Structure 1
Amino acid sequence: MALPYIARELKVPMSTIELVTSVYMIAICVLLIFWGKLSDSVGRIWLFQLGTILFALGSLFCGLSMTLPWLLTARLIQATGAAMTMATNFGIITAIFPMNQHGRALGVNSALLQLGNIAGPGIGGGVLAVLSWHWIFLINVPVALVAFLIGVLVFPRQRPSLAGAHMDWPGYGSYSVIILGFFITVFWAQTAGLSWVTLLPGMLAFVALVAFVQIERYASDPLIPFAIFKNPGFTIGILTAMIVYMLGYFNSVIMPFYLEETLGLSALTAGFCMMAIPAANVISAPIGGNLGDHFGAERVSFSRCFSGVCRSGVV
């Protein structure tokens, strides 16, 4: 919701201001698998709590930003904390609940996440109606601190330990090059057009992909064991999640500009318009979790993916 306001105040075009969102998402994409791997050794609860504090600090720095480079740096800090919590969230849930309740528990978790997505646009629009865009980030600070304190009271005590920590550094390095090379090509080509120069990071990413496959095939403790893709439930679920989140990303970046710049809606009205999709997800997430427990996650995931594509087509 704040991107049009930030673009106007910092005097940057849409193709540049979308970096505020893109840098955040790219950093999460690079770091998520790193923290997920590390959490198996150091402990998920400890990493989750540390991520919450880092997210609060990143939000504070975002709110104090006066230039785009400062804001992007703060978003990297925020993304680091967010990646820690995202990498450990589902692992904590599946460790607490028995197998036959995983679908229901994860469904409730998704519903709560969507409640945040519902409140976000409405609250964001209200904040922008009376305050500057900086408060969109500053409002996260007390929320994150409250979440941290609740975690201190609720979670069992856990001491971090690096004794058994092991990281496949060649695999992680090549994985990072894949992600960064691909996204640099995409965003560079938007402003400079397609050329051998703009395609160079993409070609480097392809070379890194080939190297990554070879490294992971022979690694003693691979970053991504390819055997997990033999599980159809996991493979379908991960592909579905990729498509759904890809569609959601386009909606979150482009829709505010369309509603505010093209249709001329106020920030508050645009915020309420963007609440429709997460509101529907709040209702469907627990239902989908229960259906997954009874009919299989693959069928439910595929139906969700199909409905998401149809929804984006209608929009």
Structure 2
Amino acid sequence: MEFKDYYQILGVEPKATEAEIKAAYRKLARKYHPDVSKEAGAEDKFKAVNEAYEVLRDAQKRRAYDQLRTHGYRPGEEFRPPPDWGDDYGFDFGGAGGATGFSDFFESLFGRAAGARAAGPRRGRDVQARIEIDLATAYAGGRTRVALHDGGGERVLEVKIPPGVLPGQTIRLAGQGHAGHHGGRAGDLLLEVAVREDPHYTLDGRNVLSTLAVTPWEAALGASVSVPTLGGPVELHIPKGSQSGRKLRLKGRGMPGQPPGDQLVTLAIHAPPAHDEAAERAYAAFRQAFADFDPRRRH
């Protein structure tokens, strides 16, 4: 059997912290997950990443594995378990006949011990997946369906979306991961949230960004106009003398939370077209009234 370098598989240094190992695992698990990856061999890479994490996340397994690495084994080379190491370092070196579901290398190190632990209740492993929703659902919450593919085929779950969920956050569905062993409870399903781009709004944390078209006279004289928000239209006061690019804040009109975000509205002045002689005369009078105004003049 071949020696496996679990640190190399996860792309971390041997001195990596628990947090660094967990972050690397999550990144690779998302990349190679059979439900989302189109890469050749993604399923095998996904299994290798899970196996590496199974060893490096467990302090006892990691200590034993680190002792083994000090003897100079290289990835891919033929591995023969050293004699009399099992009792000293917590290895089994006997195999468990497929009890773990991992590689022969893993089972040769930890198999029998894993098999012994399986005699009692053992929790199933968590499953990671990704769910994409629109901004309106992220704001208000709701329900959506997600299809998962595993060894038993496809299963469809209905997922409750909490109001105010943000991109990158995780929704946990208890008991929807891998089955437990010998009466142990099932693992959980961890759904990473992605929010589709919206034509009218952009997220900035819990704040919502939008652009509002206003007329020259609304900007110059001030006005109160109706502004769309994710929670419905509200009245916005445009101060007298506003310019394009000015940002106005609608307090608490962003994504729900504790505290909720705000909506930041950027003004964009739109001039009406001079589509007839009357409009042209109006523009000519406007030009004459503001003959001294030059927006390109440096102050």
Normalising by structure 2, we get a TM-score of: 0.22
Higher helix content, 1 or 2: 1
With the length of structure 1 as denominator, give the TM-score of the two structures: 0.21
In proportion to residue count, which structure has more strand?
2
Indicate the structure whose relative CO is greater, using CA pairs within 8 Å and at least 6 residues apart. 1
